[in-house]
Amino acid sequence: GAVVSQHPSRVICKSGTSVKIECRSLDFQATTMFWYRQFPKQSLMLMATSNEGSKATYEQGVEKDKFLINHASLTLSTLTVTSAHPEDSSFYICSAYRQREAFFGQGTRLTVV
């Protein structure tokens, strides 16, 4: 069964609004989680590393004020896309390590209209 769960799996929002995506580790604690973005016909690109109890670290070119990450507990990280625009439409995927193995959520398809 799944060890990392993402919610929602699909969301449509209006341009200018904010969207929150949740990533949960099931039956294990994850002090670190990772957020990826995948555009159509492209590979996954790491956006940021979410650290429990401290600030997230962002990859070059990723706006930290636009993609807010909160990792308030050992089993939950959230990614909030603020003031979403159509170019933010993408497939967002989270990941966590359990026993040094990477497990991925099922992904969230965000469509901004």
Q: Counting contacts by CB under 8 A, is residue 44 touching another protein?
A: yes
Choose among 35, 41, 111, 39: nearest CA to 79: 35
Q: Counting contacts by CB under 8 A, is residue 36 touching another protein?
A: yes
Alpha-carbon gap, residue 37 to 34, rounded angstroms: 10
Q: Of 45, 55, 73, 83, which one interacts with another protein (CB under 8 A)?
A: 45
Q: What is the DSSP track for 32-63?
A: EEEEEEE-TTS--EEEEEEETTS--EE-TT--
Q: Counting contacts by CB under 8 A, is residue 34 touching another protein?
A: yes
Q: Of 21, 69, 93, 110, which one interacts with another protein (CB under 8 A)?
A: 93
Q: Counting contacts by CB under 8 A, is residue 49 touching another protein?
A: yes
CB neighbours (10 Å) of residue 16?
A: 10
Interface with another protein (CB under 8 A): 4, 6, 32, 34, 36, 43-46, 49, 59, 91, 93, 95, 97, 100-107, 109
